[in-house]
Structure 1
Amino acid sequence: MTLVYAWPPVGVVASEWTIDAPVNVSRSLITGARRVSATQRRRRMVSLEVSSLARGANGAGYMEMLKRFIDGGVNLIRLESRPVNWWADAQIEASGRQSREVQWRSGSEDVSWDQDGSDVIWIDGTLLSGTAGSDGTFPTLTVSGLTPNRRAARPGEFVTLKSGGTVQTGQVVTEAFANAQGVAVLRIFEALTGSGIVNIGVSESAVFEATTIPRAVQPLNVDWSYSWQFAQVFEDEVDGFEEVDPWN
């Protein structure tokens, strides 16, 4: 198993989360026709710049320990995407577009709820429901429970559809607004299936190798930063993932 370390609790001051899809392009010598084919697997590519002094001035220490854990790139790192829009807007909008299941505990024991023999699920936040479909050209997700006549989603944001025990993730193609009934049709890049609980503006998660392991020189009287570059690694490319969180 390949060790996959959690990203530490540091202050990220700049970020990029994108897709790299290498292609090979050739042209016919006779007609000039363009021929294009994929040369490698599509991968998520990430850039992160970490402040040494943000969030309690522990950034430099966490970065040095993370470098020890990944051992020059032998081990991997799990990352989550940052908001595609300004982070402050994302925080404000989250309360009307996301929910989470509340887990009850009594001491060290989990507590379950039921009514008339059926499980009761407690939700914190705004509960949205959605159904996957198509507008004839693109996949869609019709979402209800939104604030009426307000923006529902921004292009590039991630959305999840939890149907049964399966969570599917898609990315929003274009800006969408809720109508007077609080319903919006999101055009999404990936085709989802089924219906269930929806969260908009969430993070996407994947495992990465560090393609650039930074060194950072500490100056006098000013902040300094660590600049990382990452490329996605798929589980079938290694001998499986073993997740480790040293920070909790």
Structure 2
Amino acid sequence: MPIQVFPWPPVGALGGEWTQIAPTARLRSGLTGRDQMQASQPRRRIATVVVSALAAGRMGAGYCETLKQILDGGIHAVRLQSSPINWWLDELQRQGETMNANPLAWRAGSGPNPLAYQAGSGPNPLNWYSGLVVRGGVPVAAGAWVHLPAWGLPGNAIVGRPGDFIRIYDLADSAVSEIARLMRPAATNSAGEVTLKLDRMPSISNGRISMAGQDEAVFRVEGALPRAVQPVSGDWSYTWNFREVFAEEVGGFQERPNTWT
């Protein structure tokens, strides 16, 4: 039977961690005496989120207690996006519209002006965006890593740091995207161009890049559900510890996308 997967509630965070573990087993050969190490379990993401009770409208405690209830003791799961890997103030800058264009859905209108274009779905979609569109070229293997040319960025600026995630979108379908991670600092030239060094080979070429793309996965609570004591004055917090879970381990996922709206 599948487990339910809830979105993370709109709470304010005091801190967070997004990392991964790769459990290994160490073996010693009885014939040669050599040590061997091999993966003993799948690689998994591990996440921690410290939630403020008073941030975001003083609703953090209520959201946390409600989330604890619907997780049913930890049986069910949440879908999380990654917290900033490097300094969060730098990440705020990377989230601006100069590095992340937001797509707009438009269609040919049938009102008084037949040449007008109106928001919504329709037979004549156009690729319109708010913000500056960052384009990527064709990824090329460079030894064990990958080089991806990018342009349309602010000139003479550091637009990414090692460990930061980017998201690459298919220009023909914004619902199709994939994540990659930067392996070195990304500093543009005066024309706003840079060659990104990535940890993997993306399957999308000549796509649109979001420089503040977030990693994403499904998690169960690791250990006991968090508790928090409200003081007489001041803020208090809930510390959530999560461990990634895979669909094949639990019989599938049943998404609950509109839980908090």
Residues 179, 214 of structure 2: 8 Å contact kept: no
Shift of 1:215: 1.1
Aligned residue in 2 for 1:176 = 186
Consecutive unaligned residues of structure 1, counting only runs of 5 or more, are: none
What is residue 241 of structure 1 aligned with on the other side? 253
Deviation of the 1:31 alpha carbon: 5.5
Distance 2:189 2:34 in 1: 46
Q: Secondary structure at the match of 1:79?
A: strand
Shift of 1:236: 2.1
RMSD (CA atoms): 2.0
What SS class does the counterpart of residue 63 from structure 1 fall into? Answer: helix
Which one of the candidate residues 146, 155, 160 is aligned to 1:153?
160
Answer yes or no: is 1:189 the counterpart of 2:196. Answer: no
Q: Distance in 2 between matches of 1:72 and 1:243?
A: 18
User: Take 2:122 and 2:154, find their aligned partners in 1: how far apart are those partners?
Assistant: 31
Give 1 or 2: higher strand fraction: 1
The 1-side partners of 2:83 and 2:44 are apart by 17
Post-superposition shift, 1:134? 2.1
Cross-structure match for 2:151: 144
1:152/1:184 contact within 8 Å kept: no
Greater Cα offset, 12-21 or 188-197: 188-197
SS class of match (1:201):
coil
Cα drift, residue 54 of structure 1 = 1.1
SS in 2 for 1:141: strand
Superposition deviation, residue 201 in structure 1: 1.8
Amino acid at match of 2:195: V
Offset from partner CA, 1:26-53 (integer Å, 9 cap, x none):
3446765331100000000001111111
Equivalenced residues, count: 242
Relative to structure 1, the CA distance from residue 46 to residue 28 in structure 2 (aligned partners, 3 Å threshold; closer, same or farther) is same
AA paired with 1:151?
Answer: I
Q: Which residue of 2 aligns with 1:127?
A: 133
Answer with 18-27 or 161-170: which moved more. 161-170
- What is the CA–CA distance in structure 1 between the aligned matches of 2:123 and 2:87, rounded to whole Å? 38
| Cα offset, 1:161, TM superposition | 1.4
In the alignment, does 2:224 pair up with 1:223? no
Write the deviation string for residues 116-141 of structure 1: whole angstroms up to 9, x where unpaired.
xxx41110112011122222341122
Quick check: 1:205 aligned with 2:216? yes
Secondary structure of the 2:73 match is helix
Does the 8 A contact of 2:94 with 2:211 survive in 1? no
2:115 equivalent in structure 1: none
Measure, in 1, the Cα distance between the counterparts of 2:44 and 2:236. 29
Q: In terms of mean alpha carbon deviation, does 211-220 or 6-15 score higher?
A: 211-220
TM-aligned CA deviation for residue 218 of structure 1 = 1.3
